[in-house]
Structure 1
Amino acid sequence: MPSGSFRADPFGLWRDGCLHVFAEAFDYQTRLGHIDLLVYDRDLNLLECSAILSKPWHLSYPVVFEADGETWMLPEAYKSGTLTLYRAGASLSEWEPFCDIPLDGPAIDATPFFHDGKWWLFYSPSHSRIGRRGHLHVAWAGHPAGPWHLHPRNPVRVDLGSARPGGTPRHQDGMIILPVQDCRSTYGGAIRELSITRLDETSFIADDRTGVGAAGWMAPFTDGFHTLSTAGPVTLIDVKRMDATLAGKTRRLRGIVRTWRSR
């Protein structure tokens, strides 16, 4: 990555014997993210890397999934004012907007999951700082394009430590396990697993499990554990290191000033 930038929010799928990883690429100078595609062979050697989706607003959390013979991506873009579902074209580097998904406002880290014959969408609302980090909302639909129905108990969970989605859900022991972000000490400080024991159109019951922080072997990237996703036999994570040097602080400040001046 170039100086003054980082990648985060990795999600992946396998195609033609290669692992395709989609990730946010953030630039501190513009304070905007776009979506990169990194392609690896079976031995996880990097074959290519390219920017595949860029907009005038920030993009992140590019969840990719397959449904009805199509490949879909649902990147976060709440500053655009909506949540847009994209469909892949002839290759996984070609994406076109398919439809907008109207919810109760632009969604943060929207995470789709097929369960009990329906598509479920876990997300955090963007209406407030506490909502973005500590509220979990749910919606359901018969197809990823909708129409989507809001869960009557939204927010189904209010907790800075275990509400904002942070990765790929899975079925395990009769439960849905949803990775969520622990934002109590800092944004993306750790990952916890939310065990959802009941989910239907009228009810939601869940308990959080032990959190997972950045381990010592990840040094110097031990200031946060932000995403936990899976692609077949491969687990994808992102961890972070805060640059406390004068150069690092200056770079972030310049980006903030540029953002303020452009408003």
Structure 2
Amino acid sequence: MRDAGKQASKPLRLALVYTPGIALTDAQAMLIDRLSASGEFRLVGKLAGQKPTAMQRPPFPLRWVLAAERYIMRRRIAAYDTAAATDRLAELSEISHDSARPAYDVALALSDSTLAQEQLQQARVGEVSVTYEGSATPDWIGTCRTVFTAPNVRVDIVLRAAGKSSGRTLRRAAYNPKPGAVLTGAFVAEKTVLLLLRTLKDLQSNPDLSQDAAEPLPPGAPSGYADLLPYLASFLSTACERLARRLPGKLARPNPTWRIMSGASDPTDITLRDAWDLPNNAYFMADPFLFEHDGETWIFYEAMGPNDSNGWIEAARLGEGTLSPSVVALKRPYHLSYPYVFRDGNDIFMLPETQQQMRLEVWKAKTFPTEWELHATAFEGEYLADSSLFRAEDGQCWLLTNLSDHYAFQDHSSELYLFAVDGPDLTTIVPHPQNPVVIGSDVARNAGSVIRTEARIFRPSQNNSFGVYGYGLNIMEITRLDPVAYEERLVRTFTPKDKPGSIGLHHLHMLRDRYVIDWCTTTPDR
């Protein structure tokens, strides 16, 4: 990443590659609206692209199944108003092909139509397009098998330059599939808007980004007759499972619930088989955080009963495999979770998740641990999840949070945002220029506050794969953090295989060498 002094000051000039006569999709319209509203990009014209060589179509029965699925799911996908983007595209002038000099920086392919080689000569950088599991369109007709068999749906942002027969991947992200091909296609198409904007922003600040590009995913073969019955079986199984959870009384399947285990280890050497399960002080115990006060170790966690819709925060003293009786630390008329408790100066604060209130709340302890007063609020009207504050070595305070920048699909697992703040007062909030700093359902969502050792800093993150929220845990090492760049790398991954009897792991917190992790089970009386 180039330093701040070398960042480009001029907006990136974009030409939109479109398919004449084809209406814009919701995601395409959203992208055009975002580009038009941003000062980092300038739409200079449009070009009619060439349709790719026709791929083999799936058999009619599978196309009929997906068409029926689209009809059933149409009310679950909020429609986006495409009128403004359609007018904006119509207003753009057609770019002539006879110019020998670059007329724009990047050609942005809105669909599977792309530029011919002679057209690419006019693009200073090249043509940027999107592939979904190697396919040029997100309709999932050719890749619906991935919805139930692959851990995630992979999306590539591909750059194709003049004189090159194939493209190179600038960015790749993985997204957690939804129940069914139609919902997954619409969800991933919406999420790709942010991925594209982030990639274009990178090109705007660093035109040499393409030099580090990777090989794109190979195109997948279209689904055939052999995929029809497995797809139907998986879709119906998922639908029946969700229905069973809503049935009353003894007919209902047991809902998954969360428990907490504890152990002692270095963050890079945790072995879950050595951990011990803590007593069940509540029916549902999740998002555990450790805090030391007056020589005692406390554990704060989200608590719920079997029939509760809103969670609250409980606290208990933690011993060697034991818990004291819990006390209610904070309870509100709305849902509370992720009770990150920290000390700043002489004061103790809690930063619970309060997305139901559409804002971030900071609570200050009056009488620890049961009396708290509202200290500050921020991000009014926005959906935030799993937020945490920490100070860097230079004293700068940072806020890591999962914002849901969405239209049809509210999702907190796919993007991580970073802000420079003044501390728990939250009177000064400066967004990081690389926001969102991490993209992808398998790595982006916070799974606890940062973990510090003498020379390293780690961020626990959720691995939301196989269509399962809280499927697994990652430990990411933050390798660069400053006002210009944020970088991290994967160090460890935990899955249910590491904890026999579990179906999910999704939160980790450490206090020195002591850790707590929550894990999911379908046997609440365990």
Per the TM superposition, whether the score is higher than 0.5 is yes
Residue from 45, 56, 65 that aligns with 2:333 = 56
User: Which residue of structure 1 lines up, in the alignment, with residue 35 of structure 2?
Assistant: none
Distance (Å, rounded) in 2 between the aligned partners of 1:34 and 1:180? 22
Gaps of 5+ in 2: 1-279
Q: Is the 8 A contact 1:101 1:145 kept in 2?
A: no
2:359–2:381 Cα contact (<8 Å) kept: no
CA distance in 2, matches of 1:2, 1:210: 30
Please list the CA deviations of residues 195-251 of structure 1 after superposition, one character each: whole Å capped at 9, or x if unmatched. Answer: 2211111211122233112455x442x11111110123421110111359xxxxxxx
Amino acid in structure 1 at the alignment position of 2:463:
D
Structure 2 counterpart of 1:242, one-letter code: T
1:211 aligns with 2:489: no
Aligned to 2:292: 14
Counterpart residue type for residue 123 of structure 1: T
Find the counterpart in structure 2 of residue 167 from structure 1: 448
SS in 2 for 1:24: strand
SS in 1 for 2:412: helix
Q: Which amino acid aligns with 1:199?
A: L
Please give the alpha-carbon distance, in whole angstroms, between the structure 1 residues aligned to 2:422 and 2:430.
Answer: 10
Which of 378, 384, 388 is the aligned partner of 1:107? 384
The Cα offsets for residues 4-41 of structure 1, whole Å up to 9 and x where unpaired, read as: x3110000111123211110012342321100111235
Give the stretch that moved more between structures: 168-177 or 109-118.
Answer: 168-177
Q: Which has the larger radius of gyration?
A: 2
User: Once the two structures are aligned, what percentage of the paired residues are identical?
Assistant: 26
**Structure richer in helix, relative to its length:** 2
CA RMSD in angstroms comes to 2.3
Partner of 2:368: 91
Q: Which 5+ residue runs of structure 1 have no aligned equivalent?
A: 245-263
Superposition map of 1:119-158 within 5 A: 119-128=397-406, 129=409, 131-146=411-426, 147-158=428-439
CA contact (8 A) 1:22 1:37 kept: yes
Aligned partner of 1:180 in structure 2 is 461
Q: Is the 8 A contact 1:13 1:232 kept in 2?
A: no
Alpha-carbon distance in 2 for matches of 1:15, 1:136 = 30
Residue 473 of structure 2 corresponds to residue 191 of structure 1: yes
Determine the structure 1 residue equivalent to 2:167: none
Q: 2:451 touches 2:509 (CA, 8 Å); kept in 1?
A: no
CA distance in 1, matches of 2:378, 2:411: 19
Give 1:78's aligned residue.
Answer: 355
The answer to whether 1:223 aligns with 2:503 is yes
Measure the CA separation in 2 of the matches of 1:127 and 1:54: 27
Residue identity opposite 1:206 in structure 2: E
TM-score (norm 1): 0.83
Q: Residues 120 and 80 from structure 1, CA distance in 2 versus in 1: closer, same or farther, beyond 3 angstroms? A: same
User: What is the CA distance between 1:145 and its match in structure 2?
Assistant: 1.4
Equivalents in 2 of 1:197, 1:40: separation in Å? 32
Shift of 1:179: 0.3
| Kept after mapping to 2: 8 A contact 1:24/1:36 | yes
| TM-score, normalisation: structure 2 | 0.43
Deviation sequence 1:34-61 (CA, Å, 0-9, x none): 00111235x4532331122111211100
Cα pair distance change 1:7/1:232, threshold 3 Å? same
> 2:91: which partner in 1?
none
Question: Does residue 1:47 correspond to 2:47, yes or no?
Answer: no
Residue-by-residue CA offset, 1:42-92 (whole Å, 9 max, x unaligned): x45323311221112111000011111111100001011111000111322
Q: Which has the higher strand share?
A: 1
Q: Aligned partners of 1:181, 1:103: CA distance in 2, in Å? A: 25
Asked if the contact 1:134–1:183 (Cα under 8 Å) also holds between the matched residues in 2, the reply is no
- Residue-pair matches, total: 240
Moved more, 228-237 or 127-136: 127-136
Larger RCO: 1 or 2 (CA < 8 Å, sep 6+): 1
Equivalent position of 2:483 in the other structure: 201
Distance 1:28 1:135, change over 3 A: farther
Q: What is the letter of the counterpart of residue 438 of structure 2?
A: R
Post-superposition offset of 1:167: 1.3
Task: Report if aligned partners of 1:78, 1:126 keep a CA contact under 8 Å in 2.
Answer: no
Contact 1:124/1:165 (<8 A) preserved: yes
SS in 1 for 2:326: strand
